């Protein structure tokens, strides 16, 4: 499928609306996770169709790791890597994992994830904030995966996180954004970029995140586990762009009753 047919107007919007994260400027506001990819071919096609410039990866024991060819695919796509601390349950584990990721991937950027519950994979707020403070002190650019709590979001921003990344709903659930009001409040509460991370199920969820004021969307399963990952990647790209444009354009107020768009002046008597 061609990804070169996006309207020129969108390209102009992108040029005038850069996404600045951790001091770097991105054209794309879609961050893609690699977890759940069915094949390297599907990964490569999805990365290209998504237009993403920032892709998450993980570290595991070498026996359980991907072969080198996943990295070859990502290197060839020219994307920046964002290591995560997935699977960590304490600040101590997360800080150690981030240090290892910095060594392996040669980046001090980290998607900080500290999980507090096995069934829901919800973040552990206490350990998360502790880890964020330690990693910021060590010079990491910390993108913190968090709940949609605006107060915790503010604490993470105050701790020096480069971005606050609230969940829409639990990781991999595809339940979309369960509390849009909180996401909007969180967006108002912090001055750093807000990236909606986790829970996206389909394109309209990604568009809603952007309409709520999020600066970007991070998703994995919605693309990698879709029947057609490449096509869903393009759908997400266009949804993120559409949602961003709608946010910038300013939506009309909601009204209880109708507001005619056709003038009643000059209405004939028939």
Q: According to the annotation, is 172 in a ligand binding site?
A: yes
Quick check: 33 binds another protein (CB under 8 A)?
Answer: yes
CB 59, CB 82: distance < 8 Å: no
Q: Which of 211, 269, 200, 219 is nearest to 244 (CA)?
A: 211
**Per the residue annotation, which of 102, 111, 187, 237 is the catalytic one?**
111
CB 88, CB 62: distance < 8 Å: no
Q: According to the annotation, is 198 in a ligand binding site?
A: yes
Please state, in angstroms and rounded to a whole number, the distance separating the CA atoms of residues 223 and 240. Answer: 13
Quick check: 68 binds another protein (CB under 8 A)?
Answer: yes
Please compute Rg for the chain using Cα positions.
Answer: 20
Please state, in angstroms and rounded to a whole number, the distance separating the CA atoms of residues 153 and 8. Answer: 36
Quick check: 7 binds another protein (CB under 8 A)?
Answer: no
Please state, in angstroms and rounded to a whole number, the distance separating the CA atoms of residues 47 and 54. Answer: 9
- Active-site residue flag, 111: yes
Quick check: 101 binds another protein (CB under 8 A)?
Answer: yes
DSSP one-letter string for 132-188 = HHHHHHTT-EEEEEE-S-HHHHHHHHHTT-SEEEE-SSSTT-----S-HHHHHHHHH
Considering only 101-109, 129-137, 174-182, 254-262, which stretch makes contact with another protein by CB under 8 A? 101-109
Contacting another protein within 198-237 (CB under 8 A): 198, 220-221
Quick check: 137 binds another protein (CB under 8 A)?
Answer: no
Whichever of 19 and 145 has its CB closer to another protein, that residue is 145
Considering only 20-28, 100-108, 241-249, 250-258, which stretch makes contact with another protein by CB under 8 A? 100-108
Whichever of 189 and 219 has its CB closer to another protein, that residue is 219
List residues near another protein by CB under 8 A: 33-37, 43, 56-68, 70-71, 84, 86, 96, 99-101, 103-106, 171-172, 198, 220-221
Residues that constitute the known binding site: 172, 198-199, 220-221
């Amino acid at each position: 499928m061609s990804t070169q047919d996006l309207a020129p107007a969108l390209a102009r919007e992108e040029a005038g609306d850069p996404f600045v994260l951790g001091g770097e400027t991105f054209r794309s506001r879609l961050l893609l996770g690699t977890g759940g990819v069915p094949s390297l071919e599907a990964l490569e096609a999805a990365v290209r169709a998504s237009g993403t410039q920032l892709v998450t990866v993980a570290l595991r024991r070498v026996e359980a790791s991907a072969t080198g060819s996943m990295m070859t695919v990502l290197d060839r796509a020219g994307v920046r890597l964002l290591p995560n601390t997935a699977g960590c349950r304490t600040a101590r584990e997360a800080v150690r994992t981030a240090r290892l990721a910095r060594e392996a991937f040669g980046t001090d950027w980290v998607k900080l994830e500290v999980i507090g519950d096995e069934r829901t994979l919800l973040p552990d707020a206490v350990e998360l904030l502790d880890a964020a403070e330690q990693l910021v002190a060590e010079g990491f650019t910390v993108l913190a995966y968090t709940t949609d709590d605006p107060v915790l979001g503010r604490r993470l921003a105050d701790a020096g996180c480069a971005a606050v990344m609230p969940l829409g709903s639990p990781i991999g659930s595809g339940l979309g954004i369960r509390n849009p009001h909180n996401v909007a409040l969180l967006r108002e509460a912090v001055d750093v970029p807000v990236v909606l991370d986790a829970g996206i199920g389909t394109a309209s969820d990604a568009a809603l995140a952007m309409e709520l004021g999020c600066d970007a969307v991070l998703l994995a399963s919605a693309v990698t586990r879709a029947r057609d990952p490449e096509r869903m990647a393009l759908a997400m790209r266009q949804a993120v762009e559409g949602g961003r444009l709608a946010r910038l354009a300013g939506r009309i107020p909601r009204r209880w009753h109708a507001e005619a768009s056709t003038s009643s002046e000059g209405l004939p008597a028939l």
